[in-house]
């Protein structure tokens, strides 16, 4: 005999989950190709794209193949790329002097992409770690046990002007030096680049999730410095209030877009930043976040398509307006059907 028991419930939230079309009508957060910024790695030469072992499906591109990749991204509706160079070790030194070369790889890459795919927004990293032998984001002090904040900022400001001159749309200082956003804004304006924006890595934590990226750009720290970590300039993962201090400083200094990095382990910080600012908020789903999903999927423990989508939904739901993600191309293709 069937159980005829029925609850007297005026509110049944499951009513709006009953069918796929009902669920679509009430869906609060949606992903679109225009939400994504694709980080892309650039190398010298014309060889075929080289896959990064710790980041399956992510490649380093020579400039010709970079243009092909950028065209494909634009055709899929991804509006922006963030370019990161991997330099030959012979070009590196303690001072990161190759960052100020007029014909640097990254500058040639920017010029090529802007000429070939002018509708694409191009963002470049303003930091010295790809250029230094020691792998830090700035110039070391004489004692080599700290990064010289103010001397580093002076170099970053010059670097930003070079990138603006090459045609970049947004410079993205990722170094976490004090005062660098204001110095870069003054340098850009002083050189006449009033329209070049600053996407500031305002809230960048000293995270263990960056390992594959450092492999990708060859910035693993070398022997010879007693400062083995980046905790003296990147934020402590234990600290929440510090994020808002950094945010307020970058806003006051002229940041156009503010960023939280990493994204997935810091959803609470993304929400705090979103609540504290009227600026557009970016979040960077970093290499370690990407790699762990790829590894678990390869072992058959997770469904890659479902988990990558859920992870990106969570970042957007937390308050990010745009997401830097190595899944940009695949997600854009999936969302376009």
Catalytic residues: 204, 261
* Tokens matching residue 193: 């680049």
- Residue 263 to residue 268: CA distance in whole angstroms: 9
Longest dimension (CA), the chain: 86
φ, ψ for residue 67, nearest 5 deg: -60, -45
- Are 112 and 63 in contact by the 8 Å Cβ rule? The answer is yes
Q: What are the distances in angstroms from CA 9 to CA 15, 18, 23, 79, 293?
A: 12, 16, 21, 47, 41
Containing 202, the helix (H) or strand (E) segment is: strand 197-204
Residue 242 CA, chain-centre distance (Å), reads 20
Residue 208 CA, chain-centre distance (Å), reads 15
* Tokens matching residue 191: 């050189």
- Are 67 and 42 in contact by the 8 Å Cβ rule? The answer is no
**Radius of gyration (Cα) for the chain, nearest Å?**
21
In sequence order, the 6+-apart residues with CB closer than 8 A to the CB of 250 are 181, 200, 202, 258
- Other Cβ atoms closer than 10 A to 125: 24
- Other Cβ atoms closer than 10 A to 68: 13
- Are 230 and 137 in contact by the 8 Å Cβ rule? The answer is yes
Dihedral of CA atoms 286, 131, 52, 334 in degrees, nearest 10, equals 40
In 184-321, the DSSP E strands lie at 197-204, 257-261, 281-284
């Amino acid at each position: 005999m069937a159980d005829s028991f029925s609850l007297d419930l005026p509110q049944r939230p499951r009513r709006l989950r009953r069918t796929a079309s009902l669920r679509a009508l009430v869906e609060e957060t949606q992903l679109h190709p225009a939400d994504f910024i694709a980080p892309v790695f650039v190398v010298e030469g014309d060889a075929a794209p080289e896959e990064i072992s710790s980041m399956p499906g992510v490649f380093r591109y020579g400039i010709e193949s970079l243009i092909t990749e950028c065209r494909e991204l634009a055709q899929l509706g991804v509006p922006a790329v963030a370019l990161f160079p991997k330099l030959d070790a012979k070009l590196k030194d303690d001072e990161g002097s190759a960052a100020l070369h007029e014909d640097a790889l990254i500058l040639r890459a920017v010029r090529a992409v802007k000429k070939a795919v002018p509708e694409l927004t191009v963002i470049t990293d303003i930091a010295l770690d790809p250029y230094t032998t020691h792998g830090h984001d700035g110039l070391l002090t004489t004692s080599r046990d700290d990064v010289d904040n103010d001397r580093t900022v002076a170099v970053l400001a010059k670097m930003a002007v070079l990138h603006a001159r090459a045609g970049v749309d947004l410079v993205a200082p990722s170094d976490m030096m004090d005062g660098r956003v204001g110095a870069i804004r003054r340098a850009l304006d002083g050189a006449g680049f009033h329209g070049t924006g600053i996407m500031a890595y305002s809230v960048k934590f000293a995270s263990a999730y960056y390992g594959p990226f450092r492999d990708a750009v060859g910035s693993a720290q070398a022997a010879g410095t007693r400062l083995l970590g980046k905790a003296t300039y990147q934020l402590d993962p234990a600290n929440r209030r510090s994020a808002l201090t950094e945010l307020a400083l970058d806003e006051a200094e002229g940041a156009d877009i503010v960023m939280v990095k990493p994204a997935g382990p810091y959803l609470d910080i993304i929400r705090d930043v979103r609540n504290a600012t009227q600026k557009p908020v970016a979040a960077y789903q970093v290499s370690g976040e990407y790699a762990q999903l790829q590894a678990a999927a390869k072992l058959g423990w997770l469904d890659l398509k479902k988990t990558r989508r859920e992870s990106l939904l969570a970042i957007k739901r937390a308050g990010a307006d745009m997401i830097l993600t190595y899944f940009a191309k695949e997600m854009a293709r999936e969302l376009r059907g």
